[in-house]
Structure 1
């Protein structure tokens, strides 16, 4: 029988060497040998996320949640992977000037909902404004510099709820993305 911890360690070593295929192969073997364990799936999700394979990261995270519905890391990987895939698709559509009409309205509504849920006034600050600073709890946080946003981009109610450094009431004071930092 395959020793789970030894296989997980070998997979981590392969990933550190840059051999992602070997790491994923070892994790797949561990998942087959230990079908009730969430660990091979969680590591697979993390490897896929690190490799920017967001669809595969989501699928592996869903396997984790089948074994442990309360796993915060798996939920965070699903959320962030989905956001990154959506952001890339919207950026591509924007380049093609195809985000208009109902698609644009739906995307703005979704962005508003996400901002309120995570308590951030801006989802993805401009590249030049991204920097890490120490937050009140000592954890790394992004510093957000805003340039004159449109009235539709940030409704006043969302701006009041998402005061810098304050957790959103809707998030219960917990950052669902903290596990990925």
Structure 2
């Protein structure tokens, strides 16, 4: 009889121990979520106050404290993009994409920052007269692919240029009897040149 009584007590004690062990873990996870959100909010307030470097530090610490979270990395990427540090923006966005490959903001930052860097580099090459040969043809091919990706080839085909009436060459203007060309007149009298 004692054995039957001890068995339920032992099972109850094990269940209580398991619950007691899970309670601190669940509480810690709940605090961590609140702490991450408070860190993100604190970084945003700090950035709005004009202390971008301090805000970046808060986000960096949050990224290290919560390595599975993408939010700190996305905010750091956006900050770097807004400040024109496109290389660093790409690095941070890629960190976020490692945690969530389908994140729209991360993919957008990588694409736009990459285009900005490419545009800047091509402008520098062109200014130095180094955008020639295979570099130029490859850049043109990439631009064509980009236009195709953006759907601009189809839009350009739909937009037909308005036909323009060709300007009459100077030699087709009749000469006066003395061999001089008549003076062009901007006034409203179309016969002014004939007078």
State the TM-score bracket (shorter-chain normalisation).
Answer: 0.5 to 0.7
Paired position in structure 2 for 1:69: 101
> Contact 1:62–1:74 at 8 Å: present in 2 too?
yes
Give the TM-score, by structure 2 length: 0.61
Q: Please list, as runs of the form range in 1=range in 2, the aligned pairs for 1:1-181 lying within 5 A after superposition.
A: 3-119=35-151, 121=152, 158-160=153-155
Could you say if the C-alpha distance between residues 69 and 161 of structure 1 is closer, same or farther in structure 2, counting changes exceeding 3 Å? farther
CA RMSD of aligned residues (A): 1.8
Aligned length: 127
Find the structure with the greater CA-based Rg: 2
Looking at structure 1, the residues matched to 72 and 61 of structure 2 have their Cα atoms a distance apart, in angstroms, of: 9
Q: Report the Cα distance in structure 1 between the residues aligned to 2:104 and 2:47, rounded to whole angstroms.
A: 23
Distance 1:48 1:163 in 2: 38
SS of 1:69's equivalent in the other structure is: coil
Structure (1/2) with the larger helix percentage:
2
Moved runs in structure 1, 4+ residues, more than 4 A?
A: 159-164
Q: How far off its partner does 1:17 sit? A: 2.1
Whole-Å separation in 2 of the counterparts to 1:72 and 1:16: 24
User: Where does the alignment leave 5 or more consecutive residues of structure 1 unmatched?
Assistant: 122-157, 165-181
TM-score (norm 1): 0.66
Please list the CA deviations of residues 90-146 of structure 1 after superposition, one character each: whole Å capped at 9, or x if unmatched.
111111111010000000101111111122x3xxxxxxxxxxxxxxxxxxxxxxxxx
